[in-house]
Structure 1
Amino acid sequence: MKERIPLEDGDYYLTPEGYKVFTEKYHLKRGYCCESGCRHCPYGYNRKTNGHR
Protein backbone atom coordinates (compact mmCIF):
# COMPACT_ATOMS: atom_id res chain seq x y z
CA MET A 1 0.00 0.00 0.00
CA LYS A 2 1.23 3.52 -0.79
CA GLU A 3 1.99 5.93 2.03
CA ARG A 4 -0.78 8.37 2.89
CA ILE A 5 0.46 11.98 2.76
CA PRO A 6 -1.25 14.31 5.28
CA LEU A 7 -2.86 17.36 3.66
CA GLU A 8 -1.62 20.84 4.57
CA ASP A 9 -2.56 24.37 3.55
CA GLY A 10 -1.78 24.90 -0.13
CA ASP A 11 -1.97 21.21 -1.07
CA TYR A 12 -5.36 21.54 -2.76
CA TYR A 13 -8.23 23.88 -3.55
CA LEU A 14 -11.94 23.33 -4.16
CA THR A 15 -13.53 24.13 -7.50
CA PRO A 16 -16.88 25.96 -7.61
CA GLU A 17 -18.44 22.52 -8.20
CA GLY A 18 -16.88 21.21 -4.99
CA TYR A 19 -14.12 19.03 -6.46
CA LYS A 20 -10.77 18.83 -4.66
CA VAL A 21 -7.88 19.73 -7.00
CA PHE A 22 -4.36 18.91 -5.85
CA THR A 23 -1.69 21.55 -6.45
CA GLU A 24 1.80 21.11 -7.88
CA LYS A 25 3.11 21.48 -4.30
CA TYR A 26 1.16 18.39 -3.20
CA HIS A 27 2.24 16.32 -6.22
CA LEU A 28 5.90 17.13 -5.57
CA LYS A 29 5.50 16.26 -1.89
CA ARG A 30 3.91 12.92 -2.87
CA GLY A 31 6.95 12.23 -5.05
CA TYR A 32 5.54 10.31 -8.02
CA CYS A 33 3.12 10.60 -10.94
CA CYS A 34 -0.16 8.67 -10.60
CA GLU A 35 -0.77 8.93 -14.40
CA SER A 36 -4.33 10.18 -13.89
CA GLY A 37 -3.88 13.36 -15.93
CA CYS A 38 -3.96 15.70 -12.93
CA ARG A 39 -4.48 19.38 -13.73
CA HIS A 40 -1.28 20.51 -11.95
CA CYS A 41 0.98 17.54 -12.67
CA PRO A 42 4.64 18.64 -12.36
CA TYR A 43 5.81 15.39 -13.97
CA GLY A 44 4.46 16.25 -17.42
CA TYR A 45 2.08 13.31 -17.85
CA ASN A 46 -0.22 13.58 -20.87
CA ARG A 47 -3.31 11.34 -20.95
CA LYS A 48 -3.70 11.74 -24.72
CA THR A 49 -0.26 10.31 -25.46
CA ASN A 50 -0.17 8.13 -22.31
CA GLY A 51 3.33 9.38 -21.58
CA HIS A 52 5.53 11.99 -19.94
CA ARG A 53 7.29 14.96 -21.54
Structure 2
Amino acid sequence: MSVECLMEKKTKNTEEANRGLSKEDFYLNEQGFMVFTEAYHLKRGFCCKNGCRHCPYRFLKQGI
Protein backbone atom coordinates (compact mmCIF):
# COMPACT_ATOMS: atom_id res chain seq x y z
CA MET A 1 0.00 0.00 0.00
CA SER A 2 1.40 3.41 -0.92
CA VAL A 3 2.15 6.16 1.59
CA GLU A 4 -0.51 8.36 0.00
CA CYS A 5 -3.08 5.60 0.42
CA LEU A 6 -2.14 5.11 4.08
CA MET A 7 -2.34 8.87 4.79
CA GLU A 8 -5.76 9.08 3.10
CA LYS A 9 -7.00 6.13 5.16
CA LYS A 10 -5.66 7.66 8.41
CA THR A 11 -7.27 11.02 7.60
CA LYS A 12 -10.61 9.37 6.80
CA ASN A 13 -10.52 7.31 10.02
CA THR A 14 -9.66 10.40 12.07
CA GLU A 15 -12.51 12.38 10.50
CA GLU A 16 -14.96 9.58 11.26
CA ALA A 17 -13.76 9.33 14.85
CA ASN A 18 -14.07 13.09 15.34
CA ARG A 19 -17.79 13.28 14.60
CA GLY A 20 -19.65 14.83 17.52
CA LEU A 21 -16.49 16.10 19.18
CA SER A 22 -15.46 19.74 19.42
CA LYS A 23 -11.91 21.05 19.10
CA GLU A 24 -11.70 21.46 22.88
CA ASP A 25 -12.43 17.73 23.41
CA PHE A 26 -9.20 16.27 21.99
CA TYR A 27 -5.92 16.81 20.22
CA LEU A 28 -3.65 14.58 18.15
CA ASN A 29 -0.29 13.77 19.72
CA GLU A 30 3.04 13.44 17.89
CA GLN A 31 2.26 9.84 16.93
CA GLY A 32 -1.17 10.82 15.51
CA PHE A 33 -3.20 9.33 18.36
CA MET A 34 -6.28 11.13 19.64
CA VAL A 35 -5.87 12.34 23.24
CA PHE A 36 -8.97 13.42 25.14
CA THR A 37 -8.74 16.63 27.16
CA GLU A 38 -9.96 17.32 30.68
CA ALA A 39 -12.91 19.21 29.13
CA TYR A 40 -14.01 16.04 27.31
CA HIS A 41 -13.77 13.92 30.44
CA LEU A 42 -15.82 16.45 32.41
CA LYS A 43 -18.50 16.47 29.66
CA ARG A 44 -18.62 12.67 29.76
CA GLY A 45 -19.19 12.89 33.50
CA PHE A 46 -17.45 9.79 34.86
CA CYS A 47 -14.07 8.11 35.11
CA CYS A 48 -13.41 5.11 32.86
CA LYS A 49 -10.51 4.01 35.12
CA ASN A 50 -8.11 3.61 32.16
CA GLY A 51 -5.52 6.08 33.51
CA CYS A 52 -6.17 8.75 30.87
CA ARG A 53 -3.52 11.46 30.54
CA HIS A 54 -5.90 14.34 31.34
CA CYS A 55 -8.22 12.62 33.82
CA PRO A 56 -9.89 15.27 36.02
CA TYR A 57 -10.89 12.51 38.45
CA ARG A 58 -7.19 11.86 39.20
CA PHE A 59 -7.45 8.13 38.68
CA LEU A 60 -4.04 6.44 38.52
CA LYS A 61 -3.59 2.89 37.28
CA GLN A 62 -1.82 0.62 39.72
CA GLY A 63 1.55 -0.71 38.62
CA ILE A 64 2.46 2.09 36.22
Q: Which TM-score band applies after superposition, normalised by the shorter structure?
A: 0.7 to 0.9
Aligned residue among 27, 34, 37 for 2:48: 34
**In structure 1, C-alpha distance between the alignment counterparts of 2:60 and 2:29, rounded to whole Å:** 22
- Give the RMSD, CA atoms, in angstroms: 1.2
- Unmatched segments (≥5 aa) in structure 1: 1-5
How high is the TM-score relative to the length of structure 2?
0.64
Count of aligned pairs between the two proteins: 44
Which structure has the larger Rg over C-alpha atoms?
2
User: Which one has more relative contact order, counting CA pairs under 8 Å at least 6 apart?
Assistant: 1
Per residue, is there more helix in 1 or in 2? 2
Q: Return structure 1 stretches of 4+ with deviation > 3 angstroms.
A: none
